Amino acid sequence: MTLEKNLLNTLVELDVAVKAMPSANPKLDLLKLFARIDELAKELPRDADPVLLHYLHKKSYQKARLFLQGREAENAAGNCRHVN
């Protein structure tokens, strides 16, 4: 499995875990997923897509997931004024 596919799978797993969190008691441990995403991001080559690197560096995991799913058009411009 490719590095980007592993990264996408982990981002999807994070999205599912967050959506499954109980609103009254959000104690789900997401640290393992965050650590895994950071690990995979560090393994990306230097010439990886700069947009993806930007999202990962800024911890914009939903935007990174949408980017990897080919849904970049759904990403809104963030506070950093990064233009898609």
Q: Decide: 11 and 61 in contact? Cβ < 8 Å.
A: yes
Domain-wise residue ranges, the chain: 3-20+29-72
pLDDT (tens digit per residue) in 54-81: 999 999 999 999 999 999 989 877 666 5
Q: What's the CA gap between 11 and 61, in Å, rounded?
A: 7
Per-residue pLDDT reduced to its tens digit, 22-35: 765 555 578 889 99
- pTM (2 d.p.): 0.79
Contacts of residue 18, defined as CB under 8 A and 6 or more positions apart, other chains included, come to 28, 30
pLDDT, residue 20, reads: 82
Residues making up the chain, counted from first to last: 84
- pLDDT for 82 equals 59
Distance CA 3, CA 9 (A): 10
Q: Considering only residues 26 and 4, tell me which one the structure prediction assigns the higher pLDDT.
A: 4
Q: How many CB atoms lie under 10 A from the CB of residue 62?
A: 14
Give me the pLDDT at residue 63, please.
Answer: 94
